Amino acid sequence: MVEQKKDGFKPMPTGEERVPQRKPGFGHGFGRSFGGGRRDQIKDEFESKLLDLARVTRVTGGGKRMSFRAVVVAGDKKGKVGVGVDKGKDVSQAIEKATRAAKKNLIMVTIVNETIPHEVEAKAGPSRILLKPQSKGRGLVAGGAVRSICDLAGIKNVSSKILSGSKNKLNNARATMAALKKLKSNIKPK
């Protein structure tokens, strides 16, 4: 407790004397549940990869406003993959928001013997993508956005070709996702 000196001076308490020590792992504060970090377990399950980072400007009456646009691919290498695009005031905020968007837009990819079941072609904007199944041991014969998406989806043997001349990673990623959505398998799950 706070001691009073002989001259009548009483020092202010620093707060250390009054506050009881909390037990570790209990009482996380406001807005959190007692579940113990369920969100962290969901994040660990997915891997994410940054595809593209662009500095974009918005012209307003007061001048130019700078922000960053991030394109992120997230997948669990077991058939789930998603692409997310978002903007933020700084790079880390843009990447975090895009990763969250990628995890919201997940699709299930049909994979048969570590490859796709059939040849598929898709178009998104000006980008056209062709995906072909390959025999075991061939590997990922793909480049750029297509390679990242197929890798995070868990496809180990595939051959791809970007049929358009587009070098835009966002459009190529969207075309690849459209192609993976078209996949259908005649093998029925057990």
The enclosing domain of 117 has a CATH number of: 3.30.230.10
- The 8-class DSSP code of residue 170 comes to H
What pLDDT, on the 0 to 100 scale, is given for residue 162? Answer: 94
Residue 145's closest CA among 169, 121, 181, 180? 169
**Which residues form the domain of 75?**
41-107
Number of domains comprising the chain: 2
pLDDT digits (tens, 9 = 90+) for 119-173: 999 999 999 999 999 999 999 999 899 999 999 999 999 999 999 988 999 999 9
Per the domain annotation, does 29 fall within a domain?
no
Please give the pLDDT value at position 47: 94
Output the pLDDT for position 169. 95
Same domain for 114 and 175: yes
Listed residues 83, 107, 131: the one ending a domain: 107
- 28 occurs within a structural domain: no
**With a cut of 50, which residues of the chain have pLDDT below it?**
32-33, 41-43
Query: How does DSSP assign 82-150, residue by residue?
Result: EEEEEEESSHHHHHHHHHHHHHHT-EEPP-BTTB-SS-EEEEETTEEEEEEE--TT--EE--HHHHHHH
CATH number of the domain residue 97 falls in: 3.30.160.20
